[in-house]
Amino acid sequence: MQGECIFGARPIRFRAGPADRGQRLSQCVAGRVDGLSVRAAKEIIDRGRVFVNDRRITRASYEVQPGDRIEAYPFEGRRRVRLREGDLLWEGEALVALNKPPGLLVHGTRGVTEGTVLPQLEGLLKKTGRWRSRKDRLVLVHRLDRDTSGLLLVARDEKSASLLERQFRRKAIEKRYLVLAKGVPATGRFRRVSPVDARRPARGSGESRANRPPPRGETEFEVVQAFSACALLEARPLTGRTHQIRVHLKQLGHPVLGDILYGPEKCAEPLFRAISRQMLHASFLGVDDPAGGGRLELNAPLPEDMRQVLGWLRKGEKVNNGQR
C-alpha cells in the first residue's frame, strides 16, 4: 500500500472495496492508514493531501465508491515551524527583513498569536541580544500566506510602519516572486490585468470574500525555466490584491503547483501530487529604508522544498533528454 518516497513525501495508496461504498473519505482513509485517527485524516484532506482517482479532494464528507483509487500523504514527523537566526536577512534601525519559512503563520486566528511571526521574531531578537527594550514595538506592514515563503518586512516601531505603509500605497516597493506553475506558457513574457476574486483561505471553500465586484489586479510574468509539464516563473505584481498571483495564474490556465484553493485539481503526475504546499516564494523586495539608509534591494534564497522540487524536475529533464 505504501508508495515510493518523493522528496520526503511517502504516499499511502489503496483501492476502495465494496465495503467502502458511501463511506466518508475521512473514515475510509483513517481505516487504511495505521495510527491515523479520523480527525487527523480530516486534517490532511483539508490540507489537500488526499487524492481520489488522481483528483485532489478537500471534502472529508466525500462519499467513497468501490474502485476509487485513493492516495493519501499523512504528515510525517511534523513539527511547529520556527524562525531561526538564519531567517533574518537584514536588520536596521527601522525594520527587519525576514525570509519567512513555509508553514509559518503571519497573523494569528481568533486572537491567538502564539507561534506566529511577531512573537517568534521578538523572542529571536531577545535571544541574540538585539532586542531594544526601550525602542522596539514590532509592527507587520504586509503579509504572506502561511504556505507562501520568502521576504517579509517587519517595522520596529509605529513611525517606521507608517512610512513603510505609505510606500506600499504609492507602489514604491518593488516585489518579485518565484513560482512553479502547471504547464508552459506560450510566450516568455506576458502580463495579466483582470479582476482578482480571492477565495477564503480555508478548506478550499471556493467562496469569494464579499458580494461586491472584485478589484482589478495587474501582474507581469516571465518564464525563468520551462520543463515538460510545468515552468518556473518570475511574477512581478504591480498591484497588491489578495491571492493576486495565484488567481491570475489560474485564469491563465497555469495554476500554481500545490495550490489547494486555485488548483490544479487534476494531478496525473506523481510529482505534482507529492508537493505539500503552493510553490510560491517572495524572492525580492526593493524598498526605501525608513531610517534614511537609502534604497534596499533584498533577496531571499529559495526554501529547501522548492529546491528539492526543482532538483527533481531538472533531473527528469536530463534523463528525458538523454533518451531522445
- In the chain, where are the structural domains located? 12-72, 85-323
Contact of 4 with 40, CB cutoff 8 Å: no
**In sequence order, what are the beta bridge partners of 114?**
none
Superfamily, domain 12-72: RNA-binding S4 domain (3.10.290.10)
Query: What's the pLDDT at 107?
Result: 84
Beta bridge partners of 318: none
* pLDDT surpassing 50 at residue 63: yes
What confidence category does residue 200 fall into, taking pLDDT thresholds of 50, 70 and 90?
low
d(CA 186, CA 225): 13
Residue with cell 509605529: 158
pLDDT of residue 317: 72
Instruction: Return the percentage of the chain with pLDDT > 90, whole number.
Output: 75
Q: How confident is the model at residue 318 (pLDDT cuts 50, 70, 90)?
A: low
CATH class in words for 85-323: alpha beta
Q: Amino acid letter at 114?
A: E
Q: How confident is the model at residue 238 (pLDDT cuts 50, 70, 90)?
A: very high
Residue-wise pLDDT tens digits, 75-88: 765 668 899 999 99
At residue 89, the pLDDT reads: 96
Prediction pTM value: 0.88
210: pLDDT strictly greater than 60:
no
CA distances from 81 to 120, 136, 140, 179, 317 (A): 10, 24, 19, 21, 32
Q: Are strands 189-195 and 12-15 parallel, antiparallel or unpaired?
A: unpaired
The residue-averaged pLDDT of 276-286 equals 96
pLDDT at 204: 44
To the nearest whole number, what is the mean pLDDT of the chain? 89
Reply yes or no on whether the pLDDT at 9 is more than 80: no
Q: Which residues contact 273 (CB under 8 A, 6 or more apart)?
A: 11, 51, 54, 56, 71, 73, 267
Radius of gyration of the chain (CA): 21
Q: pLDDT at residue 3 above 60?
A: no
pLDDT tens profile 243-261? 999 999 999 999 999 999 9
The catalytic residue positions are: 145
pLDDT for residue 321:
60
Q: pLDDT per residue over 96-147, tens digit each?
A: 999 999 999 998 766 666 789 999 999 999 998 999 988 999 999 999 999 9
